[in-house]
Amino acid sequence: MANLYKRGDVYWFRQTIAGVEYRESLRTTDARAAKKARDRRVEEIKSSTYHGGSKITWQSAVVQWADYASDQISERTMCRYLCSLEIAGKSFDTLLISQITGDRIVEFIENRKKEVSAATIRRDLTAVSQVLQFADFKGWVDGNPTLTKRRHLKERRDPIVLPTHEAIEEIISQSSAIFGALIRAAWLTGCRQNELVTAQWQNFSAEAQTLSVIGKGNKRRTIKLAGEAVELISRLPRVLGSKLIFCHSDGLQMAQAASNFTGIRRGAIQKAKGRGEDLQRFRFHDLRHLYAVEALRGGMSVYDLSQHMGHTSVKTTEIYLEFLTVEEKKAAKDGTKDGTAAINK
């Protein structure tokens, strides 16, 4: 195939169109898929060159949207959007904004399905939609292809997996000290990932054994910590100039914690296979599920657990009852109203 070549195992194409040479990765190792991707890309370039398509790149559109939206949305929401847009950039960075078509969105969705849940993909598409909506307003594109595609992306609740203690410890052993502490903190507190990576020192009290976090809907809640969680947080080093409890060595927020966890887990599973062992696969969020079940088994009532977890309804918390024995379930429902019940390890 004349204008196709490989870098490693990945196909690239090189072609001169209207006096401009284009060299781009086709992001595939399959020859047939590479040929189709090349033909589609060449047509996109020709269409843009000869028919007056928008010359605004995806990267430029993201930068201009961020500048426009910075004073209209909260810092936390902007951070979440930018994380999703960084991931989307792996698929869109070589394209013009006018080339982000429905087919490109579908391709992005299918690739993400291999790595994350439908809920995460919907969050990513929300961020992409913000940029495309802005591009439509600016006249760079006509319409927003994410709207119909997102509507048909079915969201289902992933089955609850309770990680074994051994699997958790193995993942922690493969992590850096601070990231391992983040994983253990999720296990010991039941906090969501984002609640931990945005938690600040000023909202932690070792004496009162409490931590105040910002949960869904930007709602703040204060949780009671088990002794082991207090000790873990108290031992963490403070980064000069940073308010964050869990952060990088430069004090910046762990914006890619979910992706980092996936990479660490993948590496740990491969190492276990090399030893002839199977390592349980679980998500970061499953640590929250494990905390909930172990808290109920340890004597916390389902009502206190519901408040601790930040659930808007106790019915959400009751999904954990199915993991209890008949006696444990009765005790959890009757409840002692003892909010200090903790996990004993």
pTM for the model? 0.62
Same domain, 26 and 81: no
Same domain, 13 and 48: yes
pLDDT digits (tens, 9 = 90+) for 234-291: 999 999 999 999 999 999 999 888 888 999 999 999 999 999 999 999 999 999 999 9
Query: Which amino acid appears at position 27 of this protein?
Result: R
Report CA dihedral (291, 345, 178, 308) to the nearest 10 degrees: 30
Query: How far, in Å, CA of 37 to CA of 51, rounded?
Result: 21
Give the pLDDT score at 114: 78
Q: Where do the H-state alpha helices sit in the chain?
A: 31-50, 58-69, 75-92, 102-113, 118-138, 146-151, 165-173, 177-189, 193-197, 227-235, 257-274, 286-297, 302-309, 314-317, 326-334
Bridge partners, 6 (sequence order): 11
Give the pLDDT score at 273: 93
Give the pLDDT score at 216: 84
pLDDT digits (tens, 9 = 90+) for 37-54: 888 877 777 665 544 445
227 — pLDDT class (breaks 50, 70, 90)? very high
Task: Work out the average pLDDT over 151-165.
Answer: 75
For 45, the token pair is: 């370039």
For 315, the token pair is: 């019915």
Same domain, 108 and 150: yes
Nearest CA to 149 among 107, 87, 94?
Answer: 107
Lowest mean pLDDT among 10-19, 25-34, 168-177, 266-275: 10-19
Q: Domain for residue 209, yes or no?
A: yes
Lowest mean pLDDT among 11-20, 75-84, 94-103, 255-264: 11-20
Nearest CA to 200 among 188, 211, 185?
Answer: 211
Q: Domain for residue 339, yes or no?
A: no
Range of the domain at 238: 165-334
Average pLDDT, rounded, for the chain = 87
Into how many domains does the chain fold?
3
Same domain, 199 and 282: yes
For 75, the token pair is: 């810092």
Query: How far, in Å, CA of 275 to CA of 241, rounded?
Result: 43
Same domain, 185 and 143: no
Domain boundary among 156, 173, 193: 156
The distance of Cα 57 from the centroid of its chain, to the nearest Å, equals 25
Of residues 34 and 204, more confidence is placed in: 204
